[in-house]
Structure 1
Amino acid sequence: MNKVIETIQNHRSLRHFEDKPLTDEQIKTIVTCAQSASTSSFIQAYSIIGVKDKEKKKKLAEIAGNQEYVEKNGHFFVFCADLYRHTIIGEKEQINVTPSIESTEKFMVALIDASLAAQNAAIAAESMGLGICYIGGIRNNLDDVKKILKTPDRVIPLFGLAVGVPTKKTETKPRLPYEHVYHEDQYEQNKEIYVSQLQEYDQLISSYYEERTGGKRKDRWTEQMALMLDRKSRMYMREFVQKNKLDLH
């Protein structure tokens, strides 16, 4: 096993960082690695906003549910779907690109491009001995996030990435069984097999939580997911995206 694979398989979300800002060189390395990710048709439909300002980080932490590690980290990156620059490209080249930019397809391209770039950034950071934690909580109130980051129409902040020198590490959390995720030639639809794999995973996760918490917690994964999905969250998202002139067709 090479070091790249070791880095990927040793991933865990870390939430406690030293009070030590990343250097400009570290930031540039992480961003240039993000830029090396694959991008659909070379469209590069994303932007990354680095947040250093303490007051802005504090406000973002509050939006994210008072998550302290949004405020206290080495650097906070916000990954955005970005088709604003392509609007400018259309004006520059005097070509009507609006119908394409406002399509669901191009919105999906922007989401995928940003996600691929972010994962490159995460692996780069972890390979440098840094810890990372993705922050979806900024989507709790994107209207306020856009005001804080001053993003124009056709730019949607998707998630944050807290990066820093970790003060403590947790164990890696077991993932779904390989056989449950990987299908060959067609999707496995045998419900008995499907449920059996989920039950196996439930036992694994329950044991993981019980050991990690000293018996205080032993919930099953399917139980956790069902309860989470039972709570409606961020149901404003479609309206917000369309208000920002994306995903209209």
Structure 2
Amino acid sequence: MNPVIETILNHRSIRHYQDRPLTDEQVKLIVQSAQAAATSHFVQAYSIIGIKDPARKQKLAELTGNRHVGTCGHLLIFCADLNKHKLAAEMEGTDATATLQTTEKFMVALIDTALAAQNAALAAESMGLGICYVGGLRNHLPEVSELLHIPEYVLPLFAMTIGYPADPSGKKPRMAAEHVYYEETYPENADDLKKHLQQYNEWIQQYYKERTNGKRSDTWTGQMAQFFKEPARAYMKDFVQKQGFDKK
């Protein structure tokens, strides 16, 4: 097993950091690694906003509901960005509005951003740093966008806290590979899938029992049933379209 795969397999979310900022060189390398990710048609439909200012980090911690956003060594905000492409079209005397607003280009921007972010995460972890994705950034996107001066055709998707781990967390067990990798076609037998999920429930229960000395023993399917029980962030579609995305 090579060091790259070891880094990938050792991933866990870190939410407690030492009071130690990243160096400019570390941030530069993480961003360059993000830029090295694959991108559809060389579009590079993302931007990354780095947050150092303690007051702004604290405000984002409040908006996301995540304390570690304010205490990490460095904070990155990953944004789907088609604003540059609007400007590129204007520079060439072209109106790209009809294309920029399609669901397809929205998906391109989402995928490009996610690929870049994962490269950034791996680069940070390879340096001995810890990271945590923060989807709570989408709790209050209008306020986040105002705080970060976000223009039309740019959409903040998630934050990433980065820093030196103060209290490394346990590694949550993922589903067995055969539960997520299928050859040729998706499995048709729902009962077989449920058997796999029941086995996974047992692993997750054991993980929580050991981690909490028996105080917690919930299952994965129980967590997912609760998570998907009620729609969240119901304002999202309207806000996404307000920013110019996914209108057609």
TM-score interval for Structure 1 and Structure 2 normalised by the shorter chain: over 0.9
| Larger CA deviation: 205-214 vs 165-174 | 165-174
Asked if residue 130 in structure 1 is aligned to residue 129 in structure 2, the reply is yes
Q: What does 1:76-155 correspond to in 2, within 5 Å?
A: 76-155=75-154
Aligned-pair distance for 1:22?
0.5
Deviations 1:226-249 (A, max 9, x none): 011113211111100001111110
The amino acid across from 1:105 in the alignment is E
Deviations along 1:101-142, one digit per CA (max 9) or x if unpaired, are 110000000000000000000000000000000000010010
Query: Equivalent residue for 1:57?
Result: 57
Residue 156 of structure 2 aligns with an amino acid whose one-letter code is P
- The one-letter code of the counterpart of 2:189 is N
Deviates more, 1:167-176 or 1:215-224: 167-176
Aligned position for 1:193: 192
How big is each residue's C-alpha offset from its partner over 1:52-93, in whole Å with a ceiling of 9 and x where there is no partner? 11111111100111x211000110000000000001001000
What is the distance in 1 between the residues matched to 2:139 and 2:167? 28
Moved >4 Å (runs of 4+): none
Shift of 1:160: 0.3
How many residues in Structure 1 have an aligned counterpart in Structure 2?
248
What secondary structure does 2:228 align onto?
A: helix
Q: Aligned equivalents of 1:108 and 1:102: distance in 2?
A: 11
Aligned to 1:237: 236
Match of 2:169 in 1: 170
- Mapped pair 1:22 → 2:18: no
Q: TM-score, normalised by structure 1?
A: 0.98
Helix, strand or coil for the counterpart of 2:80? strand
Secondary structure in 2 aligned to 1:110? helix
Matched residue, 1:211: 210
Partners of 1:170 and 1:244 in 2: CA distance: 37
Identity among equivalent pairs (%): 54
Compute the RMSD of aligned alpha carbons: 0.7
Secondary structure, counterpart of 2:117 in structure 1: helix
Structure 2: runs of 5 or more not aligned: none
Q: Could you say what secondary structure the match of 1:157 adopts?
A: strand
- Which whole-Å CA distance do the structure 2 matches of 1:184 and 1:89 have between them? 42
Letter in 2 for 1:19: D
**SS in structure 2 of the partner of residue 216 of structure 1:** coil
Amino acid corresponding to residue 61 of structure 1 in structure 2: A
- Counterparts of 1:103 and 1:80, CA distance in 2: 17
Match of 1:247 in 2: 246
1:228 counterpart = 2:227 = yes
Q: How does 1:37-48 map to 2 (within 5 A)?
A: 37-48=37-48
Uncovered stretches (5+) of structure 1, i.e. residues with no partner: none
Is 1:69 aligned with 2:68? yes
Distance 2:40 2:230 in 1: 34
Q: CA separation in 2, counterparts of 1:188 and 1:37?
A: 31
Q: Which amino acid aligns with 1:38?
A: A
Q: d(CA) in 1 for partners of 2:141 and 2:175?
A: 31
